[in-house]
Chains A and B, each alone.
Chain A
Amino acid sequence: EADIYQTPRYLVIGTGKKITLECSQTMGHDKMYWYQQDPGMELHLIHYSYGVNSTEKGDLSSESTVSRIRTEHFPLTLESARPSHTSQYLCASSGETSGIHEQYFGPGTRLTVT
């Protein structure tokens, strides 16, 4: 069982609200990731970080922002939520073993914007 946590697990909010999805890991991994997943669809990388003070946008355009002030913490923020943001958000971290970056996923946050 990987030591990576996400809160809240479920969130229903109204349009225009600001929200922050929390992600933390206790494995000391430098690399962390945020993915977005819709039902029956593949995971899409929306943000990643190589380490503290490093953040990059992923393949899928997202209106969210991230920060990495501490190694273990990688929160994702939506300044003004819209119904199009309704999705599952998965956080992951990776450590290198024999040249392969094994990614460990959190349980996800199911976001619904009404």
Chain B
Amino acid sequence: KNQVEQSPQSLIILEGKNCTLQCNYTVSPFSNLRWYKQDTGRGPVSLTIMTFSENTKSNGRYTATLDADTKQSSLHITASQLSDSASYICVVGDRGSTLGRLYFGRGTQLTVWP
């Protein structure tokens, strides 16, 4: 069964600190892995997309890593800001269909305190 598991479920950090979010998946055949940021009451916004040949990708203070062998990914946020408070969703795409089906994790709810 294709699944995406994220940890921790929620996380509270102080402004300026770094944090790392984890994602494990069982989606096969694997095509790509994405991290989205979803603010409360809004739609998800893409942060990074990685294919199986990429093991790291950065977008400003966000750095995602991918280990396709162990089927794990992480999202590292450096020098956190209050605006980073959001749900971070790991999404894995398969290449078994022309639709490019996506499998979503439940997200990690990050709260940044001043």
Interface residues of A (CB under 8 A from B): 2, 4, 6, 31, 40-45, 48, 50, 90, 92, 94, 100-108, 110
Contacts and interface: CB of A to CB of B under 8 A. Distances in A.
A101 B100 contact: yes
Contact of A40 (B44, B102, B106): B106
A25 to B, nearest CB: 12
Interface residues of B, number: 23
Given A41-B106, A90-B43, A105-B44, A100 B99 contact: no
Contact of B42 (A45, A100, A102, A108): A108
Interface string B79-105: 000000000010001000011111011
B100 A105 contact: no
B18 interface: no
Contact of A31 (B45, B51, B99): B99
B11 interface: no
B106 A42 contact: yes
B49 interface: yes
